[in-house]
């Protein structure tokens, strides 16, 4: 392969093009945190000729990439296609592996990166791994990449091993995998200051090299007008009134505190609805129904998923307030998106959430009655108080979490010159 040259942001000199291989996301899309990150990174760097991205995409199974639906992607040839100047390659995994597909996918992706780097004689390559799924297998590929003159970076995500959805053996695997990933990689890029502190303390014996680069969000308004037929039809379909509903956008899993939010909303006496945008989790919903009988409160509305990004942004803009119950993880994408769009944000009081929103949101605990009281207090805010909260939230995103700023930080990190 011919090594192109480009401008080095770190030292201001012309240098070899930096090749960055990204694995761990299922592909390029707006449907998940990592996938959205890859989408934005490629969009903002499509004209940056100093970096050549190579992105692993899942070719089959759950969450697989449908290239035909990716606007602007080239035709697939020999398992590869081009998107926003990036070289994207498809990885197939055995479907019979079930939930272990994710591990097999990441291992196969890393293996393909090493093969491509070796075959094309790429110097100084970076392989950036998203999430800590392959700790028990990572050492051999890190060593192989080091022999090829490359480096391995890691984004550890949040505390995956704490998630209630996993069985005890799976949680133990996640924790051990995290340990081995941190031990073997060259740099850990944390999207939360709290996560970086945890990595430094928990794995101090390995002296991990870490840095902090947050997740990003947009502050541009939705392209849809308030009277847009698409938005109006969505309201009518779910029996909602413009500006007279709260919302939450998250996976339906226990660590997102669905039960507390629904229970406390039912206790409140406000004349507004709660529109819950989520994927379906029948067992969890049934368990909550048995406990709370939420179906008897016509203000509680499960409205399914919303994948249209402009419609979702309009919903966030026009809702009265947003509930964020996430208790596990670092800088959560849905929180950033809410701060960039929603006027009033009610967040579960935990370090990760306070780190992001600071004084631009209000906070609640799991204590009985705490959130219900907060909901009723928020319902009485004046228009001026609401405007002030909205301004603070958008300023947080513009100052610290805009995608332009975050992608610029990544470019500088990828293009740092050797000392």
For 125-134, write each residue's pLDDT tens digit: 999 999 999 9
Cβ contact 66:28 at 8 Å: no
Across 137-165, average pLDDT = 88
E strand residue ranges, 172-262: 187-190, 210-212, 245-249
E strand residue ranges, 135-289: 151-155, 187-190, 210-212, 245-249, 273-277
Query: How many angstroms from the chain centroid is the CA of residue 139?
Result: 26
Q: How confident is residue 330, by pLDDT bands cut at 50, 70 and 90? A: low
- pLDDT for res 418: 44
**pLDDT single digits (tens) 156-175:** 976 666 666 677 888 899 89
Domain 229-400 sits in CATH 3.40.50.2000: yes
pTM over 0.85: no
CATH class as words, domain 5-216+403-414: alpha beta
Q: How confident is residue 31, by pLDDT bands cut at 50, 70 and 90? A: low
42 has pLDDT over 90: yes
275 has pLDDT over 60: yes
Calpha distance 254→274 (Å, rounded): 18
Calpha distance 240→275 (Å, rounded): 8
Cβ contact 253:280 at 8 Å: no
- pLDDT for res 158: 67
Of 61, 59, 69, the closest CA to residue 29 belongs to 69
CB neighbour burial string for 3-42, b if at least 16 within 10 angstroms, e if fewer: eeebebbeeeeebebbbbbbbbbbbbbeebbbbbbbbbbb
Cβ contact 114:141 at 8 Å: yes
185 by Cβ neighbours in 10 Å (0-12 / 13-18 / 19+) ranks as: buried
Determine which of 176-190, 210-224, 324-338 has the lowest per-residue pLDDT on average.
324-338
Calpha distance 324→318 (Å, rounded): 16
Structural domain boundaries in the chain: 5-216+403-414, 229-400
Per the structure block, which two tokens stand in for 36? 């959205």
Of 201, 211, 222, 192, the closest CA to residue 312 belongs to 222
**CA dihedral angle for residue 104, residue 29, residue 351, residue 173, rounded to 10 degrees:** -10
Which stretches of 13-134 are DSSP H helices? 33-44, 101-119
10 has pLDDT over 80: no
Across 286-297, average pLDDT = 96
- pLDDT for res 251: 84
Q: How confident is residue 310, by pLDDT bands cut at 50, 70 and 90? A: very high
Cβ contact 130:34 at 8 Å: yes
């Amino acid at each position: 392969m011919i090594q192109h040259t480009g401008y080095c942001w770190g030292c201001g000199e012309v240098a070899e093009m930096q090749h960055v291989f990204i694995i761990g996301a299922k592909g390029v899309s707006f449907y998940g945190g990592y996938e959205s990150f890859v989408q934005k990174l490629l969009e903002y760097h499509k004209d940056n000729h100093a970096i050549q991205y190579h992105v692993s995409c899942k070719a089959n199974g759950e969450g697989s990439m449908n290239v035909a639906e990716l606007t602007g992607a080239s035709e697939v040839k020999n398992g590869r296609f081009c998107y926003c100047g990036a070289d994207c390659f498809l990885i197939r995994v055995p479907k019979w592996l079930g939930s272990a597909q994710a591990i097999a996918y990441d291992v196969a992706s890393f293996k393909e990166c090493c093969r491509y780097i070796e075959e094309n004689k790429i110097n100084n390559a970076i392989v950036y791994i998203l999430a800590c799924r392959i700790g028990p297998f990572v050492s051999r590929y890190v060593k192989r990449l080091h022999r090829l003159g490359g480096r391995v970076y890691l984004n550890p995500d949040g505390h995956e091993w704490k998630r209630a959805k996993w069985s005890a053996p799976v949680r133990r695997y996640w924790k051990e995998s995290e340990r081995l990933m941190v031990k073997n990689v060259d740099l850990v890029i944390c999207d939360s200051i709290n996560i970086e502190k945890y990595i430094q303390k928990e794995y101090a014996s390995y002296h991990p090299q870490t840095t902090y680069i947050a997740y990003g969000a947009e502050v541009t308004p939705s392209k849809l007008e308030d009277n847009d037929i698409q938005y109006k039809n969505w309201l009518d379909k779910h029996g909602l009134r413009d500006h007279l509903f709260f919302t939450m956008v998250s996976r339906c899993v226990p660590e997102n505190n669905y039960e507390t939010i629904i229970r406390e909303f039912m206790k409140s006496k406000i004349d507004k609805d709660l529109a819950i945008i989520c994927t379906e989790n029948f067992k969890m919903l049934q368990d909550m129904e048995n406990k709370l009988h939420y179906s008897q409160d016509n203000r509680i509305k499960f409205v399914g998923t919303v994948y249209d990004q402009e419609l979702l942004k309009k919903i966030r803009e026009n809702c009265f307030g947003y509930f964020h119950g996430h208790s596990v993880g670092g800088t959560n994408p849905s929180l950033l998106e809410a701060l960039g769009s929603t006027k009033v944000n009610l967040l579960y009081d935990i370090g990760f959430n306070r780190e992001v929103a600071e004084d631009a949101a209000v906070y609640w605990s799991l204590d009985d009655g705490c959130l219900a009281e907060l909901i009723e207090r928020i319902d009485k805010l004046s228009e001026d108080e609401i405007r002030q909260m909205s301004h603070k939230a958008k300023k947080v995103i513009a100052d610290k979490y805009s995608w332009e700023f975050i992608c610029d930080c990544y470019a500088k990190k990828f293009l740092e010159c050797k000392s």
